[in-house]
Amino acid sequence: MASILKIIAQRLALGALTMFVVSVVIFTAVNLLPGDFAQAILGQGATPEAVDAIRRDLGLDQPPITRYLDWLAGALQGDLGNSFAQANFAAFVGSDAGSGLSSVAGQIAPRFENTIFLAGVTALFAVPVSLTLGILAALYRNSIFDRATNILTLSSISSPEFFLAYILILFLAVMNPILPSLSNIYEGMGFGERFTKTLLPALTLTLVVTAHMMRMTRAAIINLLASPYIEMAQLKGISPLRIIVKHALPNALAPIINVVALNLAYLITGVVVVEVVFVYPGIGQLFVDSVKIRDIPVVQACCLIFAGAYILLNLTADVLSILSNPRLRHPK
Amino acid sequence: MADTLLKVRGLKIEGRSDETWMPIVNGINFDLCRGEVLGLIGESGAGKSTVGLAAMGFTRDGCRISGGSVEFDGIDLVNAAARTKRDLLGRRIAYVAQSAAASFNPAHRLIDQHTEAPVQHGVMPRSESESDGIELYRKLRLPNPNEIGFRYPHQVSGGQLQRAMTAMAMSCRPDLIVFDEPTTALDVTTQIEVLASIRKIVEEFDTAAIYITHDLAVVAQMADKIKVLLKGDEVEEADTREMLSNPKESYTKSLWAVRSFKRPQKPAVQTASVPVVSVQNVTAAYGKVPVLHNVSFDMHAGRTVAVVGESGSGKSTVARCITGLLPPTQGQIELDGVPLPSDYRKRDKSQLRQAQMIYQMADTALNPRKTIGELIGRPVQFYMGLTGSERRKRVEQLLEEIELEPSQYYNRLPSELSGGQKQRVGIARALAAEPKFIICDEVTSALDQLVAEGILKLLARLQDELNLTYMFITHDLATVRSIADEVVVMKEGRVVEQGLKEEMFRPPHRPYTDLLLSSVPEMDPDWLTNLLKDRGVDNIGDAALDKMENESPG
Q: Say yes or no: A188 and A298 in one domain.
A: no
Identify the sign of the CA torsion B171, B217, B545, B495: negative
pLDDT at A86: 64
Asked if residue B254 lies in contact with residue B263, where contact means CB atoms within 8 angstroms, the answer is no
In a domain, B153, yes or no: no
**Mean pLDDT of the A144-154 span:** 93
> Inter-chain contact A228–B102, Cβ cutoff 8 Å?
yes
Phi-psi region of B11 (alpha: psi -120 to 50; beta: other; left: phi over 0): beta
Q: Say yes or no: B194 and B332 in one domain.
A: no
DSSP secondary structure letter of residue B42: -
pLDDT at B258: 62
Asked if residue A271 lies in contact with residue A183, where contact means CB atoms within 8 angstroms, the answer is no
Sheet holding B494-500, edge to edge: B355-358, B437-441, B469-474, B304-308, B486-491, B494-500
DSSP secondary structure letter of residue B270: P
User: What proportion of chain A, given as a percentage, has pLDDT over 70?
Assistant: 93
In a domain, A233, yes or no: yes
> Inter-chain contact A237–B56, Cβ cutoff 8 Å?
no
Q: Say yes or no: A219 and A150 in one domain.
A: yes
A299 vs B224: CA distance, rounded Å? 81
Q: Say yes or no: B374 and B460 in one domain.
A: yes
Q: Dmax of chain B from CA atoms? A: 76
Q: Say yes or no: A159 and A77 in one domain.
A: no
Asked if residue B534 lies in contact with residue B522, where contact means CB atoms within 8 angstroms, the answer is no
Asked if residue A244 lies in contact with residue A141, where contact means CB atoms within 8 angstroms, the answer is no
Q: Say yes or no: A122 and A77 in one domain.
A: no
- Name which of A233, A242, A326 is nearest B106 (Cβ-Cβ): A326
A169 vs A177: CA distance, rounded Å? 9
Nearest in space to A256 (alpha carbons), one of A140, A127, A107: A127
Indicate which CATH number applies to the domain containing B319: 3.40.50.300
Please say if the pLDDT value at position A260 is more than 90: yes
Q: Say yes or no: A136 and A84 in one domain.
A: no
Q: How far is B451 from chain A (nearest CA, A)?
A: 28
What is the ipTM score, two decimals? 0.78
In a domain, A53, yes or no: yes
B480 vs B500: CA distance, rounded Å? 11
Please say if the pLDDT value at position B553 is more than 50: no
Please write the tens of the pLDDT for every residue from B229-245.
Answer: 988 888 888 888 888 88
B34 vs A274: CA distance, rounded Å? 69
> Inter-chain contact B104–A234, Cβ cutoff 8 Å?
no
In a domain, B499, yes or no: yes
Mean pLDDT check: name the lowest of A131-135, B74-78, B330-334, B515-519: B515-519
Looking at per-residue pLDDT, the higher value among B252 and B466 belongs to B466
Say how far residue B164 (Cα) sits from the centre of its chain. Answer: 21
Q: How many structural domains compose chain A? A: 2
Asked if residue A273 lies in contact with residue A161, where contact means CB atoms within 8 angstroms, the answer is yes
Domain residues for B200?
A: 4-103+175-257
Please say if the pLDDT value at position A93 is more than 50: no
In a domain, B269, yes or no: no
Q: Say yes or no: A57 and A150 in one domain.
A: no
Residue of chain B with shortest Cα separation from A326: B107
Q: How far is B85 from chain A (nearest CA, A)?
A: 7
Please write the tens of the pLDDT for every residue from A151-164.
Answer: 999 999 899 988 99
Contacts of A250 in chain B (CB under 8 A): 105, 107-108
Please write the tens of the pLDDT for every residue from B84-97.
Answer: 999 999 899 999 98
Average pLDDT, chain B: 87
Q: Say yes or no: B231 and B289 in one domain.
A: no
Contacts of A239 in chain B (CB under 8 A): 86, 120
Asked if residue A58 lies in contact with residue A92, where contact means CB atoms within 8 angstroms, the answer is yes
Pairs across A and B, CB distance < 8 A: 78
A242 vs A253: CA distance, rounded Å? 16
Q: Say yes or no: B323 and B201 in one domain.
A: no
- Name which of A229, A242, A246 is nearest B103 (Cβ-Cβ): A229
Please write the tens of the pLDDT for every residue from B368-400.
Answer: 999 999 999 999 999 999 888 999 999 999 999
In a domain, B112, yes or no: no
Interchain CB contact of B107 with A (< 8 Å): yes
Q: Say yes or no: B226 and B365 in one domain.
A: no
Q: Say yes or no: A182 and A231 in one domain.
A: yes
Q: Which residues of A touch B (CB under 8 A)?
A: 226-229, 231-239, 242, 246-247, 250-251, 326-327, 330, 332
Contacts of B58 in chain A (CB under 8 A): 234-235
Buried b (16+ CB within 10 A) or exposed e, A298-324: bbbbbbbbbbbbbbbbbbebbbbbbbb
Please write the tens of the pLDDT for every residue from B177-211.
Answer: 999 988 877 788 888 888 888 888 888 888 999 99
Domain residues for A230?
A: 110-292
DSSP secondary structure letter of residue A325: -
Q: Say yes or no: A116 and A75 in one domain.
A: no
Sheet holding B289-299, edge to edge: B289-299, B277-286, B330-335, B338-339
In a domain, B360, yes or no: yes
In a domain, A151, yes or no: yes
pLDDT at A99: 47
Q: Say yes or no: B9 and B85 in one domain.
A: yes
∠ Cα A126 A129 A131 (to 5°): 100
Identify the sign of the CA torsion B155, B157, B158, B160: negative
Q: Say yes or no: B387 and B476 in one domain.
A: yes
In a domain, A105, yes or no: no
Q: Say yes or no: B341 and B431 in one domain.
A: yes
DSSP secondary structure letter of residue A82: B
Looking at per-residue pLDDT, the higher value among A4 and B73 belongs to B73
Asked if residue B521 lies in contact with residue B211, where contact means CB atoms within 8 angstroms, the answer is no
Residue of chain B with shortest Cα separation from A225: B61
DSSP secondary structure letter of residue B171: G
Which of helix, strand or coil describes residue A241?
helix
In a domain, A186, yes or no: yes
Asked if residue B292 lies in contact with residue B493, where contact means CB atoms within 8 angstroms, the answer is yes
Q: Say yes or no: B296 and B415 in one domain.
A: yes
> Inter-chain contact B90–A247, Cβ cutoff 8 Å?
no
Average pLDDT, chain A: 85
User: What proportion of chain A, given as a percentage, has pLDDT over 90?
Assistant: 33
Please say if the pLDDT value at position A101 is more than 60: no
> Inter-chain contact B105–A226, Cβ cutoff 8 Å?
no
Identify the sign of the CA torsion B150, B153, B155, B157: positive
A268 vs A29: CA distance, rounded Å? 21
Q: Say yes or no: B374 and B495 in one domain.
A: yes
**How many other CB atoms sit within 10 Å of the CB of residue B512?**
21
In a domain, B413, yes or no: yes
pLDDT at A65: 85
In a domain, B434, yes or no: yes
Contacts of B89 in chain A (CB under 8 A): 234-237
pLDDT at A98: 46
> Inter-chain contact B121–A239, Cβ cutoff 8 Å?
no
Amino acid present at B207? T
Integer CA distances (angstroms), B489 to B185, B307, B341, B500, B542, in order: 20, 6, 26, 11, 18
Q: How far is B133 from chain A (nearest CA, A)?
A: 16
Q: Say yes or no: A118 and A9 in one domain.
A: no
Sheet holding B75-76, edge to edge: B20-33, B4-17, B63-72, B75-76
- Name which of B61, B89, B152 is nearest A235 (Cβ-Cβ): B89
Please say if the pLDDT value at position B541 is more than 90: no
Contacts of A247 in chain B (CB under 8 A): 105, 107
Among A227, A234, A236, the residue to mutate for chain B (most B Cβ within 10 A)? A236
Q: How many structural domains compose chain B? A: 2
pLDDT at B318: 92
Among A140, A234, A235, the residue to mutate for chain B (most B Cβ within 10 A)? A235
Please say if the pLDDT value at position A145 is more than 80: yes
Q: Say yes or no: A87 and A30 in one domain.
A: yes
Say how far residue B135 (Cα) sits from the centre of its chain. Answer: 31
Among A140, A223, A232, A322, the residue to mutate for chain B (most B Cβ within 10 A)? A232
Which of helix, strand or coil describes residue B233?
strand
Q: Say yes or no: B209 and B318 in one domain.
A: no
In a domain, B448, yes or no: yes
B259 vs B274: CA distance, rounded Å? 33
Q: Say yes or no: A117 and A243 in one domain.
A: yes
pLDDT at B260: 64
Q: Say yes or no: A120 and A180 in one domain.
A: yes
Q: How far is B114 from chain A (nearest CA, A)?
A: 10
Indicate which CATH number applies to the domain containing A237: 1.10.3720.10
A28 vs A23: CA distance, rounded Å? 9
**Mean pLDDT of the B153-163 span:** 85
Among B75, B105, B176, the residue to mutate for chain A (most A Cβ within 10 A)? B105
Please say if the pLDDT value at position A92 is more than 60: no
A99 vs B544: CA distance, rounded Å? 82
> Inter-chain contact B90–A229, Cβ cutoff 8 Å?
no
Contacts of A228 in chain B (CB under 8 A): 97, 99, 102-103
Q: Say yes or no: B202 and B281 in one domain.
A: no
B113 vs B403: CA distance, rounded Å? 51
In a domain, A142, yes or no: yes
Please report the DSSP string for B377-408 in residue order.
HHHHHHHH---HHHHHHHHHHHHHHTT--HHH
